């Protein structure tokens, strides 16, 4: 009976080469139809998931003695079974006049994808920032088809929605408890390295959240003094995505 295992790396295949997502060293493996002879046992490498398929990787020596990375589909009879569970999660962010719901969903798909709807003016660059921030901050990008919807009727798109979208993606992917996002308004722009940058109109965003009944806020640390003027709200300033996740877990326990 096959066993279930968590793969250690997520990859993409393009032009016959498997590359690790978010890897600064740009590891590459030539994709083959089957395991080749001569794979070095003393140079273990990670398994990779591409879509829902599991790939084994290794190193072989060329005739000139140089190592070459290779990847091949795992044998279904012997390989670990990789299952992508469907998931959904809601986070909240705010404009200067209202609270917006940020809904992330994850579903099984033959090819991995990530889309953002409800944010036409910033969709492409927001998608790139969120994915880079999550992977470069050391978190595993959820496999399968990931989608984010920001709404309803988002008429003022802003990078300030980044933090809420990233947390929703991680919750839908199972990395954090979706319940941790309940009643917390998340405000902040993400850097590609997972840092959280200051945004405009934080006081107005906090006011909109309060008017909608929210009392917990996570904001960029650079905006903390401005955002913490309200005496009937709990406001936390963070400078990284990881710090925001830590505070979410703490708020969920409070």
**pLDDT per position as a tens digit, 149-199:** 887 766 667 899 999 999 999 999 888 888 889 889 999 999 999 999 999
pLDDT tops 80 at residue 38: yes
CATH of domain 87-253: 3.30.230.10
pLDDT value at residue 1:
35
- Cα separation, 211 vs 199, whole angstroms: 20
Q: Which residue has the higher pLDDT, 93 or 17?
A: 93
Lookup: tokens for 80 = 């670990």
pLDDT, the chain, mean = 82
Q: Where are the alpha helices (DSSP H) in the chain?
A: 123-136, 162-172, 202-211, 224-227, 241-253
pLDDT value at residue 24:
47
The band of 109, judged by pLDDT with boundaries at 50, 70 and 90, is low
Which residue reads 């709807």 in tokens? 117
pLDDT value at residue 239:
96
Q: Which residue has the higher pLDDT, 4 or 32?
A: 32
Domain range annotation of the chain: 9-73, 87-253
Lookup: tokens for 221 = 């640390």
pLDDT value at residue 3:
40
């Amino acid at each position: 009976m096959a066993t279930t295992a968590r793969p250690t790396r997520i990859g993409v295949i393009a032009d016959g080469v498997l590359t690790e997502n978010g890897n600064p060293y740009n590891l590459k493996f030539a994709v083959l139809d089957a395991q080749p002879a001569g794979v070095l046992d003393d140079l273990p490498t990670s398994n990779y998931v591409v879509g829902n398929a599991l790939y084994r990787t290794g190193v072989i020596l060329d005739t000139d003695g140089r190592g070459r990375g290779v990847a091949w589909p795992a044998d279904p009879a012997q390989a670990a079974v990789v299952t992508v569970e469907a998931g959904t999660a809601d986070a909240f962010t705010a404009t200067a006049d209202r609270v917006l719901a940020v809904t992330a969903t994850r579903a099984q798909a033959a090819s991995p994808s990530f889309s953002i709807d409800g944010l036409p003016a910033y969709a492409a660059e927001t998608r790139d920032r969120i994915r880079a921030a999550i992977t470069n901050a050391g978190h595993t990008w959820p496999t399968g088809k990931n989608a984010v919807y920001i709404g309803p009727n988002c008429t003022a798109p802003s990078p300030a929605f980044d933090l809420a979208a990233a947390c929703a993606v991680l919750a839908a992917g199972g990395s954090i408890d979706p319940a941790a996002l309940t009643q917390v308004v998340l405000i902040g722009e993400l850097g590609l390295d997972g840092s959280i940058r200051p945004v405009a109109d934080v006081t107005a965003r906090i006011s909109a959240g309060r008017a909608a009944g929210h009392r917990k806020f996570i904001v960029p640390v650079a905006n903390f003094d401005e955002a913490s003027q309200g005496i009937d709200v709990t406001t936390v300033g963070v400078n990284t995505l990881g710090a925001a996740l830590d505070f979410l877990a703490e708020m969920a326990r409070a």
